[in-house]
Each structure stands twice: as structure tokens, then as C-alpha cells.
Amino acid sequence: MSTQLNDNSDNASAREQLLEAACQIMRDGDTVDLSLSELSLRSGLNSALVKYYFGNKDGLMQALLERDMTNVVNALQALVAKDMPPEEKLRLHIGAVIDTYFSFPYLNRLLMRMIRDSAPAEAKRIAELYLKPISDAYSSLIADGVDAGKFRNVDPQLFYFTVTGAADRFFNARQVLKHCYDQHEVSEALRDNYREHTVDIIMRGLLA
């Protein structure tokens, strides 16, 4: 019994090591691709384990997307269910989006790549798992704010693109930061400043 538990624990640990190594490679390299040799070097594990745990590299990418996006969707749905003013919910959410893209700047690009490169049925499944719940949550949050007299009646679809675009563009602008502003990384201080700026700008445009 204890041997079985240890084996399961080791399997989970190795699988998570591979996912975290893939995450760090894409984060550090500002990319949504990786080589198995680099993954092996970064994780300290044999790249053959990718086939064992995920089937292939695409399976690894799918598992990474599932790990990261499931947390995003669950957190947003929990926020929608909370008993607090709609404007406070959206302030918290926009700030959380900035923090998420700081940790996983590849997230939207990976999501779009997986949808684009998948067969139609799989692309639809991915969209329904990760995009539709976010879209529905935005519709609910904005409708609650409009009903409460707090928000202008903005289009939830356009609001989705505004929030996602503000985060995705900034955290994938490393070359702009380097060549225009002589900054070689997005520091925690810059993240904090951008979070405050983005929340302020978007909320000013949303509030009635």
C-alpha cells in the first residue's frame, strides 16, 4: 500500500516538474514553443517522460493550458458568486488578470494556438471550457453593475477584449520595453504600477 502511494506521489511530482519547466521556458523565452531537449535540461528529467505522461509535446501543452486556465476560470466564477458590489468585483478581477499574465505571459497566446491548431471539435471543446465561462462571467458582472446603476451599458464582448488585450499586450512587449525604455524585464514594481494604472483606466471608462 505504501509503495503504491509513493509511486503515485513520484508520478505526480515528475508530471508537475515537466509542466513547471515548460511554464518557465515559455515565460523566460517569451514564446509558446519549446524543445524537448531544453525541457529535459530545465526539469532534470528524461524527455521520454513527456510521452509517458502526456502522449506527446502537444499533450504537454494541453495539460499546461488546463492547469493554468482552470485556475483562472474557477477564480472568476467564485468572484462572480461573492456578495459584494459589482464595481469591487471588477476591480479585483482586473487586478487578478494583470497578476495572472505576469506569472503566465504566454497564456493567451497558448490558448489561441491550441484552438487554432486543433481539429474543429477539439477547438470548440477548448473554447467552451475556457473562453465561454469568462465571457458569461463578464456578461453577468456588467449586467449586475448596470442594474445597480453603477456601470454604463457597455458591450461585454468588447469589454472582454479590452481587459484581455490590456494584459496580453503589455506582458508580451519585452522588446518594446528593452529598446524603447531600456528595461529588460517586467519587474514586480512595474507590474504593480501597471495593475493600478489598468484598473483605474478601465474602471473610469466603465463607471456611470
Cα–Cα distances in angstroms (integers) from residue 132 to residues 87, 105, 129, 136, 171, in the given order: 22, 21, 7, 6, 23
pLDDT the model gives residue 93: 96
Q: Which amino acid is at 195?
A: R
pLDDT the model gives residue 10: 63
pLDDT the model gives residue 185: 85
pLDDT the model gives residue 11: 67
Cα separation of 10 and 136, whole Å? Answer: 38
pTM: 0.87
For domain 61-206, the CATH class is mainly alpha
Cα–Cα distances in angstroms (integers) from residue 180 to residues 29, 71, 185, in the given order: 19, 34, 13
Task: For the domain covering 1-55, report its CATH number.
Answer: 1.10.10
DSSP 3-state of 159: helix
Query: Could you state, in order of their start, the residue ranges of all structural domains in the chain?
Result: 1-55, 61-206
Dihedral sign for Cα atoms in the order 57, 58, 59, 61: positive
DSSP 3-state of 35: coil
Cα separation of 128 and 199, whole Å? Answer: 27
Cα separation of 149 and 70, whole Å? Answer: 32
Cα separation of 38 and 52, whole Å? Answer: 17
pLDDT tens digits, 25-39:
999 888 898 999 999
Cα separation of 95 and 15, whole Å? Answer: 30
Question: What stretches in the chain show pLDDT beneath 70?
Answer: 1-12
**Grid coordinates representing 48?**
521520454
